[in-house]
Amino acid sequence: MTSCAEPPAPPAPSGASLWRHRDFRRYLTGQTASVAGSSITQMALPVLAVLHLDATTAQVAWLAFLGQLPPALLALHAGALADRYSKRRQMITGDLVSAAVLTTVPMSAALGTLTLTQLMVVAVVQGAASVLHDAAAISLLPSLVDRSLIQRSNSRVGALFAIAATAGSHLGAALTAVLGPARALLRDVVSFLISAGCTARVQARAPARARPEARRLREEIGEGLRYVRGDERLVTLTLVNATTSFGLGLLNTLWALYLLVPA
């Protein structure tokens, strides 16, 4: 794994390898850990609900629904906050909140006080924290590398994130089988702490854009939506991503119902 404790490095020139760019490596290491950890949580929470709390079909469906709800409700707000405040701070806050809320699950399981209501609250809070983190992470990347490297860096980030999500799902299944779902979540806590530590060492090159103090968050969201509507390419990308996310949300709900809950 790439070390996150290296001293700051200047922005990489357009012809340099991205893997020699220390801030990009820190960013990529932290985000990969976060993506893999989130995949573990998506695997472990439904298993914990069914095996330890005897959750019904409806309860598992509600758990999955609540986990998918924050992205639908908070994505626009999280993006506006990332544009207004420090992106690194927002990412670190999201990671630490996720780590803290997930820590309560194995602790409660060990004490015998774990409830389905707690799992649902954890799913909502962790989902909201992930939205805050992801919105800031997407907008931070252009400030880390030279403009000529944006396309290359995005392609590498996308490829590695896909690998991390798949690996995290497989790792989550293995850890759940070997350690149990509650203890498997402790590995997810570690992944969020790694992400926060790496992000804290990233040196963003571009200062945050100044915003008028009196400007409302709703106005900034409206401005962003108007900007997207004015570009056909952005509209197409938005529709594609929304459709894909909707389909994945259905899949995440249905696999838990069909594989875990007895008929």
Quick: pLDDT tens for 106-155: 999 889 899 999 999 999 999 899 888 888 888 887 777 777 777 777 77
CA dist 173 and 261 (Å) reads: 16
For the chain, the distance separating the N- and C-terminal CA atoms, rounded to the nearest angstrom, is 43
For range 33-39, the mean pLDDT: 82
Q: Which residue has the higher pLDDT, 160 or 94?
A: 94
Quick: pLDDT tens for 47-68: 888 888 888 888 888 888 888 8
Lowest mean pLDDT among 152-161, 234-243, 248-257: 248-257
CATH topology of domain 19-205+217-260: Growth Hormone; Chain: A; (1.20.1250)
Is the CA virtual torsion 93, 176, 4, 14 positive or negative?
negative
pLDDT at 9 exceeding the cut of 60: no
- How crowded is residue 7: how many other Cβ atoms within 10 Å of its Cβ? 7
Domain edges within the chain: 19-205+217-260
For range 202-212, the mean pLDDT: 58
Question: Are 130 and 56 spatial neighbours (Cβ–Cβ below 8 Å)?
Answer: no
When mean pLDDT is compared over 135-139, 231-235, 239-243, the highest value belongs to: 135-139
